[in-house]
């Protein structure tokens, strides 16, 4: 009963408002005392978990993404998407999703995507005649693409927990992320075409100008994907290259990054990187205690007792993660479930990259569904829209997201084909 009690204690602390990292640390230490294990094991596991080369990617990509956001890349990306899709009826909804797809290759964070894209496009969509709830819903839903298309902080943490190659995870997320973007674009166009006219005419000159202004930001995913795919560097080394490139673009080429803003970027990035590393450290001890209490094997036994068909078990995992994601923040939910479910994936013979994408994409749906719906609340706050209206408008997008997850779950090649090309 140690494992279930540990999970229950963790959830109680989180619900009570204790920070995720502290809640994991407290419950892990309590379990060690209960099991009569020296508490020095807590420090040993925690320090060893962050003393890895791959996790250096966290601060590198955090700083790079913030530099480019502060350096004006988000405005250029939105302008580029608008030049391609703004001529359509309902085009601003498509622009919103397209901006998120492009911005995903820069930030790696769903919350950053919501703030950057939503801060510009939600007010613009409201002025153009779109329903405020729709503007909020499409922003929140499309922001979930951020952690799927590389670089992705969520993938870095997942790799840190499980040992799965972060570079391979980056490659595995590209096709599912683009597929999700296309399906959300189609839904945004279908709903939005009845709400507002086009905001601009189709102009090759405008496309050329917007592309020329935004192309330096769009080179980043090409650097990451190409470098990893052809074996030029690892994900961590890609972070160093992208960081240097981001500084040059934001400070020396665009010149939108002031010295004061640069200092602010470094402070914000240091704080966020520290928080993420602390979470990883606490998660390592938390996962070790769960494994010691035989919780992963118990979960494997429970799910395989319901069915030994890999497809049925995969669908059961999706249902479980949808439920968890509704009530627990994504990183916390991943930290709780991955140490338990990862052994299940190995026992069922799932490709680890395929299983990772299913887990992350499913948990991200919870960011736009009540009662938690973090991205939905953030977007509603930006747009000054009642959350109830946003929830109603988000239903079609949630359906599309679930359908996309099921396609990825049932067709492993969607996630595994591109990593298989690695040299």
Give pLDDT tens digits for 321-365: 998 888 777 887 887 788 888 888 988 899 999 999 999 999 999
Higher pLDDT, 400 or 235: 400
pLDDT mean across residues, the chain? 85
What is the secondary structure of 162-214 as a DSSP string? H---HHHHHHHHHHHHHHHHHHHHHHHHHHHTTT---SS---HHHHHHHHHHH
Task: State residue 180 phi and psi, 5-degree precision.
Answer: -65, -40
Cβ proximity of 364 and 147 under 8 Å: yes
Distance (Å, whole) CA 87 – CA 84: 7
pLDDT for 358 equals: 96
pLDDT for 1 equals: 59
Measuring CA to CA, which residue among 370, 310, 371, 367 is closest to residue 344?
Answer: 310
Distance (Å, whole) CA 329 – CA 158: 15
Question: Cα 29 from chain centroid?
Answer: 29
Cβ proximity of 93 and 138 under 8 Å: yes
pTM above threshold 0.75: yes
In this predicted structure, the answer to whether residue 112 has a pLDDT above a threshold of 80 is no
Distance (Å, whole) CA 46 – CA 284: 6
pLDDT for 42 equals: 83
Q: What is the largest CA-CA distance in the chain?
A: 71
> Quick one: average pLDDT of 306-316?
89
Give pLDDT tens digits for 160-206: 888 898 889 999 999 999 999 999 999 999 999 888 887 777 788 88
Distance (Å, whole) CA 204 – CA 355: 42
Distance (Å, whole) CA 92 – CA 381: 20
> 186-190: long-range contacts at Cβ-Cβ below 8 A with a sequence spacing of 24 or more?
187/396, 187/397, 187/400, 188/90, 188/93, 188/94, 188/96, 188/97, 188/138, 188/142, 188/397, 189/88, 189/90, 189/91, 189/93, 189/94, 190/90
Cβ proximity of 139 and 92 under 8 Å: no
In this predicted structure, the answer to whether residue 255 has a pLDDT above a threshold of 60 is yes
Give pLDDT tens digits for 271-307: 888 888 888 788 778 878 877 777 767 777 777 788 8
In this predicted structure, the answer to whether residue 314 has a pLDDT above a threshold of 90 is yes
Q: How far is CA 132 from CA 126, 135, 137, 383, 386, in A?
A: 6, 5, 9, 7, 9
Q: How far is CA 349 from CA 273, 299, 345, in A?
A: 34, 16, 6
Q: How far is CA 85 from CA 79, 198, 396, in A?
A: 10, 9, 21
pLDDT for 138 equals: 94
């Amino acid at each position: 009963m140690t494992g279930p009690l540990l999970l229950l204690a963790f959830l109680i602390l989180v619900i009570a408002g204790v920070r995720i990292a502290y809640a994991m640390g407290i419950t892990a230490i309590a379990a060690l005392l209960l099991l009569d294990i020296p508490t020095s094991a807590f420090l040993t596991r925690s320090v060893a978990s962050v003393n890895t080369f791959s996790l250096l990617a966290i601060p590198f990509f955090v700083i790079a993404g913030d530099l480019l956001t502060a350096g004006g890349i988000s405005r250029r990306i939105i302008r580029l998407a608008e030049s391609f899709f703004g001529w359509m009826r309902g085009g601003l909804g498509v622009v919103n999703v397209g901006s998120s797809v492009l911005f995903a290759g820069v930030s790696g964070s769903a919350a950053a995507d919501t703030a950057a894209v939503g801060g510009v496009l939600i007010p613009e969509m409201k002025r153009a005649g779109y329903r405020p709830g729709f503007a909020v819903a499409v922003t929140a839903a499309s922001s979930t693409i951020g952690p799927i298309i590389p670089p992705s902080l969520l993938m870095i943490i997942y790799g840190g927990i499980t040992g799965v190659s972060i570079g391979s995870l980056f490659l595995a997320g590209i096709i599912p992320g683009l597929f999700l973007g296309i399906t959300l674009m189609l839904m945004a166009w279908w709903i939005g075409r009845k709400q507002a006219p086009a905001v601009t005419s189709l102009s090759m000159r405008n496309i050329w100008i917007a592309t020329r202004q935004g192309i330096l930001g769009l080179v980043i995913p090409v650097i990451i994907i190409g470098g990893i795919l052809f074996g030029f560097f690892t994900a961590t080394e890609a972070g160093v290259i992208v960081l240097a490139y981001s500084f040059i673009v934001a400070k020396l080429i665009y010149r939108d990054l002031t010295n004061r803003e640069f200092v602010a970027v470094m402070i914000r990035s240091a704080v966020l990187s520290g928080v993420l590393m602390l979470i990883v450290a606490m998660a390592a001890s938390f996962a070790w205690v769960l494994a010691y209490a035989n919780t992963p094997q118990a979960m494997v036994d429970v799910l395989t007792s319901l069915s030994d068909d890999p497809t049925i078990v995969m669908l059961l995992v999706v249902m479980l993660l949808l439920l968890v994601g509704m009530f627990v923040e994504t990183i916390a939910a991943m930290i709780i479930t991955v140490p338990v479910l990862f052994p299940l994936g190995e026992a069922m013979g799932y490709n680890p990259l395929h299983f990772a994408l299913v887990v992350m994409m499913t948990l991200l749906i919870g960011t736009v569904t009540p009662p938690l719906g973090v991205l939905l609340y953030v977007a509603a706050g930006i747009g000054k829209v009642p959350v109830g209206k946003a929830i109603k408008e988000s239903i079609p997008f949630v359906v599309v997201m679930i359908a996309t997850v099921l396609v990825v779950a049932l067709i492993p090649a969607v996630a595994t084909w591109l990593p298989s090309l690695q040299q």
